[in-house]
Structure 1
Amino acid sequence: MNIPAATLSEILRAESTALTRLDRVISELRRSGIILVRAGQEAYWISSAETVNETALETFMQLASGEPSLVITGQRASRLGFDVERDATVYCLHGFDVITQTLIERIADPASPLWASEAAAFDLEDVTVTRGGKVAQAVIALSKHAGLLPAVLATKADTSGSFDSVLEISSEEIWQGLHEATRQLQVVAQARVPLEDSENTRIVAFRPLDGGSEHLAIIVGEPDLNAPVLIRIHSECYTGDLLGSLRCDCGHQLRGAIALMATAGSGIVLYMAQEGRGIGLINKLRAYKLQDQGRDTVDANLDLGFEEDERDYHGAVQMLKLLGVKQVRLLTNNPRKVDSLTSLDVEVVERVAHIFPANRHNRGYLYTKGSRSGHLFNLTELETDPHKA
């Protein structure tokens, strides 16, 4: 049966939801595409500052009906020398003589090799900065959710034209899709997986409705759901969990949690797809490069334009509900995690400490966790020479 192209287009549009639109525009941004974002009667062309290439930039400039701007976070704008508010604020940079791929990369990415090149020097003295509106706020949130640097190229679009071949989304749909993506999970698979430290273990996989990365529940033993369950909410760490990186304590915390639960008789590790405190693996590697240049964990994230911690615990809370967990004993050194769960109506009856010895590679990382992020460590033991084992 052949469906006319016009009819097929109407069907696809009718069935399109905020989640499906969100998924499609994310894919477009990640592969250097240009999308259209609407807000009321206005529309804007948007391209990711991280992925835009020369061809996409040329197309973008041809589409522009107004002055292009670079949209960045307050954290990033502050570090570029602009006098702005930092927290949870978005700004638009205007007034560039010419916008090049080199300029975009240098503004968006402090870990770029261009920062070591005098040939790529640039002057922001004549650039003006204004607070971003609804679209600017939405597209920065979209970039973060896509695992990209929080920086985009934006310009007003001529709304009198036809955009049938362009992926478009409204700012309201972006927020709706992000809300649904973090709060709507479904169980998609489960199986028995004997582990070295716990042979009686099951893994349950949860997938968000936007088709994003799956979260896992590692269920040790048979937890008594009528009593407080020992829980560890563990953000995935490719480098620490899989490769045994010495830059963090994640691998020790993951395997240590499973071993402790096995000894205690039962427990659940929620393994969340929130690499690098929610900024993603690629951005975590950028943060590592900045740390090698002298920044600590917190400042490296802020330099990249992120907040100190971008994690969201709505998914973890829904996983607990789907598993039937009502009360938790939370295995963590982070009081903010306790506060986050409590604010989402999870009854945390006890915080259980989860501390492992430092090494010369992660001593500074752990000290920053304690001194700046509120983790409950003995700072006296950590404030010695960070290179000392």
Structure 2
Amino acid sequence: MTELLTNLGDAPDQVMVERAIAEFRNARPVMIKGAYGSVLVIGIEDIGLRQAAYLDALAQGAARLVLPAARLRTLGLDSRKAGYFPLISIDIARIALLAVNPEAKADTPVEAAGEADENALELARLSLVLPAVLVLPLNEQTVIADDVVTIESDLLHKYRKTAMTKARLISRAPVPLDKAGKSEFVVFRGGEGMRDQVAIIVGEPDLSQPVYVRLHSACLTGDLFGSLKCDCGDQLRATVQWMAENEGGILLYLDQEGRGNGIANKIRAYRLQAEGYDTYAADEVLGFDLDQRHFEFAAEMLKQLGVSKVRILTNNPVKIEALQKSGLDVVSDERVLGRLTDENKSYLATKRDKAGHLLDYDSFATCAPRKD
């Protein structure tokens, strides 16, 4: 099979990781091999009683529940690294309590995560599922079905460093937009999860000069449905209109819903926000750190479009730094402010205070990009 993939022009290592991601995302176990031996890993999201009984018999009392540091902190543990709870038996109720219950506290000591555990969490993150994983150590006598996908541990980390930084231009066509009649959509494949990413070229920007650019992470609730919980929809539409009325520009619409956590986890976080958690505290309960997004592939998209100098339209200093580190010349950074509403003011204040977003509340009367 490796020879076939190579002859077809595909990188076999990348293919194996993507197969593992697909299996894990669909609640099927994956075997990861490393210097530590072999482990069977499966996310906790969709484990039922029948699966738990089978895994319990397979584990023979050696299973463990692996959780990231963010979740361990919400369990009342002073943890800077991932850890695991040994499981004498795979008790679904106890697992759910430790993994997702916002009021839970640790009921037993946590053990420091090893390399196998970190690999399992990395696969969960790449799969956009909850970062809470059952890990079952295997011995040479353990019989595993032939259809279980097996992957070498080092491929997971290579995948994030290589495949996720790449983007390949797939298609492009003119698409006139409301308040931006002359626009072109350019579709790339790559980045987070090797999904499709879109560059919208508004007007006719002069690519030999610094180009106005916005990196806009997809927000289904705000961009499409006009959610009042955020300012994403305002930022999206205002930026496109502003570019059309000025020198043109490029808006990158990136498939990074929920700060890179995926739509399912974003809605889980919204439920917690409805119970009083702020946007980052809700993510931490689910096991996520401040922001899971990466922007190297966005810089690659711009380079393939012929952009080398940018005037970035953003409130997020992380995006500015990411483009600079990727070799683009960031000539200026300018703000994009949406409406301040009763529903989003706490969210925006939290972004400013916890993540350092560059928000100026005196200027919330306008949605248009502006300079400091």
TM-score for both structures, normalised by structure 2: 0.90
* Residues 317, 357 of structure 2: 8 Å contact kept: yes
Match of 2:337 in 1: 355
Match of 1:370 in 2: 352
Q: Does 1:248 align with 2:230?
A: yes
Once the two structures are superposed, the pairs formed by residues 239-388 of structure 1 within 5 Å of their partners are 239-378=221-360
Count of residues paired in the alignment: 361
For 1:123 and 1:257, how far apart are their aligned partners in 2?
A: 44
* Residues 198, 262 of structure 1: 8 Å contact kept: yes
Match of 1:21 in 2: 16
Q: Residue deviations 1:26-59, cap 9 Å, x none?
A: 2212222111111125000101011222222222
Give the alignment partner of residue 106 of structure 1, picking from 63, 86, 97. 97
* Residues 29, 51 of structure 1: 8 Å contact kept: no
Give the 3-state SS of the residue equivalent to 2:41 in structure 1: strand
* Residues 187, 198 of structure 2: 8 Å contact kept: yes
The unaligned stretches of length 5 or more in structure 1 are 1-7, 116-121, 383-389
Once the two structures are superposed, the pairs formed by residues 198-209 of structure 1 within 5 Å of their partners are 198-208=180-190
Match of 1:49 in 2: 44
TM-score for both structures, normalised by structure 1: 0.87
Q: Does 1:90 align with 2:82?
A: yes
Cα RMSD (Å): 2.4
Q: Displacement of 1:105 after TM fit?
A: 2.2
Give the 3-state SS of the residue equivalent to 2:351 in structure 1: helix
Match of 1:142 in 2: 123
For 1:333 and 1:54, how far apart are their aligned partners in 2?
A: 46
Q: Residue deviations 1:255-282, cap 9 Å, x none?
A: 0110010011310000011011111111
For 2:29 and 2:178, how far apart are their aligned partners in 1?
A: 48
Give the 3-state SS of the residue equivalent to 2:162 in structure 1: helix
Match of 1:131 in 2: 112
Give the 3-state SS of the residue equivalent to 2:110 in structure 1: strand
For 1:336 and 1:139, how far apart are their aligned partners in 2?
A: 27
Match of 2:367 in 1: none
Match of 1:166 in 2: 148
Match of 2:136 in 1: 155
For 1:250 and 1:241, how far apart are their aligned partners in 2?
A: 6
* Residues 56, 89 of structure 2: 8 Å contact kept: no
* Residues 19, 209 of structure 1: 8 Å contact kept: no
Q: Residue deviations 1:268-306, cap 9 Å, x none?
A: 000011011111111111111111111111111112111
* Residues 127, 193 of structure 2: 8 Å contact kept: no
Q: Residue deviations 1:48-78, cap 9 Å, x none?
A: 0112222222222222256110011011011
Q: Structure 1 residue runs of 4+, over 6 Å off?
A: 12-16
Q: Residue deviations 1:161-182, cap 9 Å, x none?
A: 5653321111101112222331
For 2:54 and 2:27, how far apart are their aligned partners in 1?
A: 11
* Residues 34, 56 of structure 1: 8 Å contact kept: no
Aligned CA distance change for structure 1 residues 97 and 246 (closer, same or farther; 3 Å): same
Match of 1:119 in 2: none
